[in-house]
Amino acid sequence: MTDTTTPPLRIAMVGYGFMGAAHSQGWRVAPRFFELPTGVEMAVLVGRDPGRTRAAAERWGWDETSTDWRSVLERDDIDVVDIVTPGDTHAEIAIAALDAGKHVLCEKPLANTVAEAEQMALAAERAAEKGVRSMVGFTYRRVPAATYARDLIASGAIGEVRQVRANYLQDWLSDAEAPLTWRLKKELAGSGALGDIGAHAIDLAQYMTGQTLTSVSGMLETFVKERPLRGEAIGLGGTASSERGEVTVDDLALFTGRFSGGAVGSFEATRFATGRKNAFRIEIAGSSGALSFDLEDMNVLHVYDATAPGGRQGFTRVIVTELEHPYMANWWPTGHMIGYEHGFSHQAKDFVEAIVAGAAPSPSFEEGLQVQRVLDAIERSSDNGSGWIPVE
């Protein structure tokens, strides 16, 4: 059971969209399945629209609502700020929260620019000196099969890592008449497929291999340059609009990279892969074996042992639901699957444990900054067509 002898951590979450639902699920469920070192209270949900914010709070279990995140930061009864807003607001909210002494969980990518991410990392460093913790929400690290892959590679199970292949395929923008949302505006989202889903591929590849990308070469492409505006964007409420707006981010990112340990990687991130809804696949080949993970079969890790006798070689399908596998002892009996939402419970668990232990959580803002630098290098490589760009 969760420890109830110490004061609970009271959470304020800023934002209430898709990620707001996922994070709410994590905060609500984690204390009920894991023996946390302290309790968790979902205290305040913050959003710009009062009615929608109240409806989301009632649906997800938040105690109260606010439309002013700054006033929430002034409250002594708030311990953690969870940021699930569009990327253009991450830096301002996170830096203010850290300077106010609040622990911060911020969705990925950390920011929209390297400069913003650098300021956030500096704020996190200042805060850490006072015992205030911060973490980036690269939640796929906490899918048990992905965590297990990291553990196997670290143990030497596949030998020297030589090659990484990662692709993240979605098709939700393949319809050219799909409306222009905030994710398609550079000033709000920072980038398109590159930062939205390519950031996941970068982080998970680095996490699994234990290596960082040191140089990249890439290209970005925008297939549909203009899209219909939503009615509310031009004052028409929910009615349809014939007006169109410019798409200012990428639809597709293709890039290659060199890793700090000598491995090389190839990456693809697209929201135009017709027929693919959320296909995130990563395969890592080493000198004595290989691992393959597919988010659409997320309870499975395929493991190849090149040292086995020739007659017994082949990828082994490991169902990652045993008590010995990461996080699984607190869920269901062996063989019973978990889903997408469970990663957010694991994220909440790990963050709470780090806060109470006074430990540095991972991925840190510094790790988020490193991913931001990779994204920036890919974009610069595409913009100037100069090939390989070092990651600063």
HSE (side-chain half, CA atoms, 13 Å) at 2: 22
| Cα gap 177→159, rounded to integer Å | 48
pLDDT at 231: 57
CB atoms within 10 A of CB 123: 21
225 and 188 in one domain? yes
pLDDT at 1: 57
CATH number for position 58: 3.40.50.720
52, part of any domain: yes
Strand 264-270, strand 161-169: pairing: parallel
326, part of any domain: yes
Q: Which domain holds residue 96?
A: 9-139
226 and 325 in one domain? yes
From residue 165, how far is each of 168, 205, 252, 266, 284 by CA, in Å? 10, 9, 16, 5, 7
- The encoded tokens of residue 225 equal 């340059």
pLDDT at 3: 65
288 and 272 in one domain? yes
HSE (side-chain half, CA atoms, 13 Å) at 304: 16
pLDDT at 236: 42
379 and 258 in one domain? yes
pLDDT at 242: 78
205 and 218 in one domain? yes
129 and 193 in one domain? no
Residue at a domain's end among 89, 104, 139: 139
163 and 98 in one domain? no
Show Cβ contacts of residue 50 under 8 Å, excluding neighbours closer than 6 positions: 65, 67
109 and 186 in one domain? no
Residue at a domain's end among 139, 154, 182: 139
CATH number for position 308: 3.30.360.10
264 and 153 in one domain? yes
**What is the CA 357 to chain-centroid distance, rounded?**
23
- Residue among 373, 329, 303, 325 nearest 34 (CA): 329
Residue at a domain's end among 115, 139, 163: 139
CB 213 within 8 A of CB 242: no
CB 264 within 8 A of CB 256: yes
pLDDT tens for the chain, 392 residues: list them. 566 678 999 999 999 999 999 999 999 999 999 999 999 999 999 999 999 999 999 999 999 999 999 999 999 999 999 999 999 999 999 999 999 999 999 999 999 999 999 999 999 999 999 999 999 999 999 999 999 999 999 999 999 999 999 999 999 999 999 999 999 999 999 999 999 999 999 999 999 999 999 999 999 999 999 999 975 544 444 555 679 999 999 999 999 999 999 999 999 999 999 999 999 999 999 999 999 999 999 999 999 999 999 889 999 999 999 999 999 999 999 999 999 999 999 999 999 999 999 999 999 999 999 999 999 999 999 999 878 999 98
For helices 199-209 and 144-154, angle between their N-to-C axes, nearest 10 degrees: 40
- Predicted TM-score (pTM) of this structure: 0.95
Q: Is 213 exposed, middle or buried (0-12, 13-18, 19+ CB in 10 A)?
A: buried
352, part of any domain: no
Question: Structurally, how many domains does the chain consist of?
Answer: 2
39, part of any domain: yes
74 and 180 in one domain? no
CB atoms within 10 A of CB 315: 15
The residue count of the chain comes to 392
149 and 272 in one domain? yes
130, part of any domain: yes
76 and 216 in one domain? no
